[in-house]
Amino acid sequence: MHVVKSFAVLACLMGAAMQSQAAKHIQLGLSSYGLVGEYGLETETFTWVNQLALQYRQDQWQLRVSQPYILQDGPAELVLVEEGEFDEFKLVGSEERAQKAGYGDPTLGLSYSWPRHKPGIYQANKGQWSASAKWKLPRADQEEGFSNGRHEYTFSIGRSYRFDDVMLQGRVGRHFRQYVEEGDNTQRNQVSLGAVFFPGKYSSLGLSVYHKDATAFQDDAVRSFNINTQTRVNRHWRIGANIGKGLTDSAADLYAGLQLSYRWYVR
């Protein structure tokens, strides 16, 4: 309950800021990416995600809502098997495969950055903090496996600093799940570190590593390495791409994606 109250306080603060500041822009984005991996199940799963996101930014505040649509080819069911010297149990994907498609859980995000800089990220020797909150709402089909039926929250804080044509950035956060009886209620820390290079005024190339603690039912933490690029085509259009590799069994072996967005400026 205290997590929900914290998110509500952030929303109220954003509302107050919107009344006192002029709006900047609204952005509509479409992303599509594929992931392939075994995830410790000894059976490969392919997942293709198409996501629509609407973002509103006003000065230092940003509000974002996203809705994914998921297509998946993987094991028809998960089997609990007993193995090892100490009669350990683990999940293994069945040999029979199945294809399924459906909407995933929508996510609502709110962030605030400080101190306030002039518009644009192309400023040397400028540092900035950011705080964010994300809320995943359990609205997808649980029977198909697109939702666990639980509210999930992530709170994080990040720091970036620009040195001429290079920007270093890092973020730490904590992930919470709605408590249920006889379920995995692990609270998980997450960390990301990266660098962004600016070969030109309207383009960027980023490298980052990501870590998220394992749940009670996972053998490994989630760790991955990512390369991404973004180009501003003109004042309104932006395109991007990313490719990454998982560093543990709990992460996707490989993933890649494309992003396209259009921005409206509001006076």
CATH code for the domain of 253: 2.40.160.40
Q: Higher-confidence residue: 3 or 175?
A: 175
pLDDT value of position 9: 43
Banded model confidence at residue 18, pLDDT cuts 50, 70, 90? very low
CB count, 10 Å around CB of 53? 19
Q: How far is CA 104 from the centre of its chain?
A: 13
What total of structural domains would you count in the chain? 1
Note the pTM of the prediction, 2 decimals: 0.84
Q: How far is CA 186 from the centre of its chain?
A: 18
Phi, psi at 51, each rounded to 5°: -130, 135
**In the 8-state DSSP scheme, what is residue 44?**
-
Model pLDDT for residues 122-135, shown as the tens digit of each residue: 555 678 999 999 99
Tell me which of 47-51, 66-70, 183-187 is least confident: 183-187
Residue 231 in tokens: 């180009």
pLDDT value of position 75: 83
Banded model confidence at residue 30, pLDDT cuts 50, 70, 90? very high
**Contact at 8 Å (CB) between 252 and 223?**
no
- CA-wise closest residue to 51 among 233, 257, 264: 257
Residue 1 has pLDDT above 70, yes or no: no
**In the 8-state DSSP scheme, what is residue 17?**
H
**Domain span at 112:** 2-265
Burial class from Cβ neighbours inside 10 Å (0-12, 13-18, 19+) for residue 224 reads buried
